[in-house]
Structure 1
Amino acid sequence: MSENTVFETDRPVFPFTAIIGQDEMKLALILNVIDPKIGGVMIMGDRGTGKSTTVRALVDLLPQIEVVANDPFNSHPSDPELMSQEVKEKILNQQPLEVLQTKINMVDLPLGATEDRVCGTIDIEKALTEGVKAFEPGLLAKANRGILYVDEVNLLDDHLVDVLLDSAASGWNTVEREGISISHPARFILVGSGNPEEGELRPQLLDRFGMHAEIRTVKDYQTRVSIVLQRLEFDESPKDFRKLYQEKQEELTKRIAEARERVKSVKLVDDYYSIISSICSDLDIDGLRGDLVTNRAAKALCAFEGREIVEEQDLIRIMPLCLRHRLRKDPLETIDSGEKIQQILEKYF
C-alpha cells in the first residue's frame, strides 16, 4: 500500500468489497466515482438494507486527487472550473501554489442542517468594517470535487433539496446577502438514500439524479445468515475484519483510478446513440437527461471493465438504472417500471 493511502481510520468503516449482494447499488456508486458528470445516485429501499453502510464504505475506495494546500474548496491546481477565486488570483499574480495529494472527500449532510450550514455565510460586519468579503464556507464548499451524501433525502426540506440539485447541476454555489455576492465551485457527486414508505421525492427532483438504485430486503435465508454472521464478526473486531479485505479493497481502488483515466477514450458507436434516444422516446421520457446519463454511464461501465468500445451488454445493464425513475407514473398501470424497460430493451436487443 502506498504511504498516502489511509486504510485504518479512527472509526472503522465496513469494507465495500465485503458487502454481500446489492450489486445494483454498488455499481451505480462506482460508475459515478468514475464519471462524476453522470449526476449522482438516488438509492431507495427498505429499512435495514445497508444503504448507508454501502455509501460510507465507498470512502475507502475513493482514489486520490490533486488539491491546492490550505484551500477550503479543494481547488484543482490547473482547472479554472474547479478552483476558487483566491487560487485564480494567485495564478494570475504568478504566485507559487503548494499542491497536495488527498483522497476524494465525502461529506454527510445532517437532516437538520440549515441553509447557512449548507451554503456558507457572509460576515456582513467584517465586510462593512474591514472592506473584505468575509465568507465562512459551508458543506457545499467542503464537498467540492467529492461526494455529498444525504441520508433520508425524501425527508429533507424541499427548499434545501432544490439548493443541492441546483449546485450539483451548475457546479457552482452562490451566496448573496445585503448586496454582497460570493461564488465558489461546488462540483460534487450527490448521493441520496431513503425509504419509499416515508414519502417519495417530487418527479422533477428525482429526474435530477443521474441514476436510481432500488434495494430490496434479501429473502434467501442462507444469504441472510451470511450477512448477519459477517456483521457480527465486524462488530466484534473491526480492524481484524478489515484486514481480511485489504487486498481486495486496494485492487478495486486501483481499478477505479484506472477507469477514471480510461473513460476519456471510450467510444460509443453511432448506432448506439440512435438506439439510446429511440428507447428514451419509446418510454415517453421527458427531456434529454435520460439520453445523456445513459451515454455517460455506458462509457463508465465499459471503462470499469477494462474496455474501450461500449458493447450491447453495457446498455442492457445500465439503462434500468438510468431510466426507471424518469418514467411517468400511471396509476392504472400494473406493470413495474423495471419490467417496462426490460420489455423495450428486448425489442431493440
Structure 2
Amino acid sequence: MNAATELRNTPAARPAFPFAALVGQASLQQALLLAAIDPGLGGVLVSGPRGTAKSTAARALAELLPEGQLVTLPLGASEDRLIGTLDIESALRDGALRFSPGLLAKAHRGVLYVDEINLLPDALVDALLDAAASGVNTVERDGISHSHEASFVLIGTMNPEEGELRPQLIDRFGLMVELENCFDPLVRQQIVKARLGFDLDPQAFRAAYAEQQAQHVQRIRAARAALPALGFDDAVHAYVSALCIAAAVDGLRADLVMLRAARALAALEQATAVTTAHIDQVAEAVLHHRRHSRDTPPQGDAAAQTPPHDSASASATPPDESNAAAEASAATGDSEWGYLPPEPTGTTPVKGVIPLNEKKR
C-alpha cells in the first residue's frame, strides 16, 4: 500500500482539511512537522486569535502520522480520564494488576490536541507535558504503579485574550508559534477560496492535494529513520549557547530543544549534518516563549545611576558630622528603604537671619 492510498484509507470521523493546503501558515507547518518527526520535543503551543486555523492544522497533521489518530482532550476531563486508572481492590485481592487506559494511551503514535490549554488545571497540564517529553505515562496509586508507552505529538492551542499559561508550564512546551490575523488581501482571498472549495466538495478538494499529502507522509517517515544518525559538532553547540544566552533564557531546556529541533529539521531536509542554518530556522519557535529582557543594569553600573551630590549641603556640613552620618548609614545598610537614621544636619547662614546658635550682639 503506497502512502497516498494509506492516507485515503485512514479512518476519520470526518474529512480533514489537507495539511498541504494550509495557506499562510509556514511557521506553524514547520513546527508541527518537527514535532511529528521528534515527539520528544515536548509539543507545540499555538497562540493566536479566533479563526486562525489552529484546530484545523492540528487535525491536518494527525492524518500524516502512522496511525492517523487524533485524540481531543475536553476541558472538563478528569485526571483519571487523562492518565488512566488502576483497580486497587483487584490488585490487593487477587494480586492482578488491572489498568484502564486513559486518553494518553489512546493518543500513542498520534496527536493529542488540547484546545484552550490555558484554561486547564495545572495538574493536567503537568501530566500532559511529562508524558509528551518522556514518551511514557506512569500511573501510581497507593504504592502500586503501571507504566506504558505514550509517544504522541502534543498540540496545545490558546487565545491570549482568555488568559495565559503560568511561566513554569509554558517553558516546558518545546516549540511555540504565535499566529496573527491576516491583513494581506491576496492571502486572505487564497485562504477563503481554499476553505470554500473544501466545504463545497471535501473529497474532490482532498484529491487535488493527495500527491502533496503523500509526499509529507514519506518525508516524515524518512526523517524519523534518519534522525538517530545526525549529531552536533562544537560549532553548532557554541552557536546555540550564544543564542540562548543572548535571549536570557532560564535553565538549559532551550539549548536542548533547539538542538533537537534543528536535528529534526536536518532530517526532514535529508541533510547529512546539522548546521547553524538549521539552528536559525528553528530558533524563534524555541525562544519565543522563553526570551527575557535584560533591562536591569548590572550592579557595577549602580554608581553611575547615583544622583549627583549636593555640593552646597556638603560644604555646610562639618567634616566630623559628615563622617558620623556616613558611619550611621553604613551600619544600618541601604536595604531598609524609607528608613533614615538620626543624624546631625548642617545649617547654612542666610543673610538677614540671625542663627540660633549665635548670641545677639
TM-score tier by shorter-chain length is 0.7 to 0.9
Give the superposition deviation at 1:215.
Answer: 0.7
| SS across alignment from 1:286 | coil
5+ long unaligned stretches in structure 2: 297-361
- Cα 1:309–1:150, aligned 2, differ >3 Å: closer, same or farther? same
Identify the range of structure 1 (1-10 vs 48-57) with the bigger mean alpha-carbon deviation.
1-10
- In structure 2, how many angstroms separate the alpha carbons of the residues matched to 1:243 and 1:145? 25
- Structure 1, residues 98-118: CA drift from partner, whole Å, max 9, x if none? xxxxx2533211111111110
State the one-letter code of the partner of 1:243.
A
| SS across alignment from 2:288 | helix
State the one-letter code of the partner of 1:233.
G
Determine whether 1:44 maps to 2:47.
Answer: yes
Would you say the 8 A contact 2:198–2:205 is kept in 1? yes
Give the superposition deviation at 1:329.
Answer: 6.3
| SS across alignment from 1:61 | coil
How many residues end up aligned between the 2 structures? 293
- In structure 2, how many angstroms separate the alpha carbons of the residues matched to 1:269 and 1:246? 38
Q: Which residue is equivalent to 2:2?
A: 2
Give the superposition deviation at 1:28.
Answer: 0.3
Q: Which residue is equivalent to 2:277?
A: 313
Would you say the 8 A contact 1:259–1:303 is kept in 2? yes
How high is the TM-score relative to the length of structure 1? 0.78
Q: Which residue is equivalent to 1:58?
A: 61
Give the superposition deviation at 1:190.
Answer: 1.8
Determine whether 1:13 maps to 2:40.
Answer: no
State the one-letter code of the partner of 2:284.
P
Q: Give the 5 Å matches for 1:270-281.
A: 270-281=234-245
Q: Which residue is equivalent to 2:37?
A: 34
Give the superposition deviation at 1:282.
Answer: 2.1
State the one-letter code of the partner of 1:216.
E
State the one-letter code of the partner of 1:134.
R
Determine whether 1:146 maps to 2:110.
Answer: yes
Would you say the 8 A contact 1:18–1:245 is kept in 2? yes
Give the superposition deviation at 1:128.
Answer: 4.3
Q: Which residue is equivalent to 2:288?
A: 324
Give the superposition deviation at 1:146.
Answer: 3.1
Give the superposition deviation at 1:313.
Answer: 2.3
- In structure 2, how many angstroms separate the alpha carbons of the residues matched to 1:160 and 1:268? 34
Would you say the 8 A contact 2:107–2:152 is kept in 1? yes
| SS across alignment from 1:190 | strand
From 102, 111, 115, the equivalent of 2:75 is 111
State the one-letter code of the partner of 1:137.
P
Q: Which residue is equivalent to 1:282?
A: 246
CA RMSD, 1 decimal: 2.1
Q: Which residue is equivalent to 1:196?
A: 160
Q: Which has the higher contact order (CA 8 A, sep 6+)?
A: 1
Would you say the 8 A contact 2:175–2:286 is kept in 1? yes
Q: Which residue is equivalent to 1:85?
A: none
Identify the range of structure 1 (137-146 vs 213-222) with the bigger mean alpha-carbon deviation.
137-146
How high is the TM-score relative to the length of structure 2? 0.76
- In structure 2, how many angstroms separate the alpha carbons of the residues matched to 1:265 and 1:15? 31
- Cα 1:149–1:330, aligned 2, differ >3 Å: closer, same or farther? farther
- Cα 1:330–1:311, aligned 2, differ >3 Å: closer, same or farther? closer
Q: Which residue is equivalent to 1:297?
A: 261
Task: Give aligned-pair identity as a percent.
Answer: 49
Q: Which residue is equivalent to 2:218?
A: 254
- In structure 1, how many angstroms separate the alpha carbons of the residues matched to 2:96 and 2:124? 28
Would you say the 8 A contact 1:7–1:60 is kept in 2? no
- In structure 1, how many angstroms separate the alpha carbons of the residues matched to 2:264 and 2:135? 20
From 179, 201, 208, the equivalent of 1:244 is 208
Would you say the 8 A contact 1:119–1:138 is kept in 2? yes
Would you say the 8 A contact 2:72–2:114 is kept in 1? yes
- Cα 1:330–1:312, aligned 2, differ >3 Å: closer, same or farther? closer
Give the superposition deviation at 1:272.
Answer: 1.4
Q: Which residue is equivalent to 1:336?
A: none
Q: Which residue is equivalent to 1:166?
A: 130
From 61, 85, 90, the equivalent of 1:121 is 85
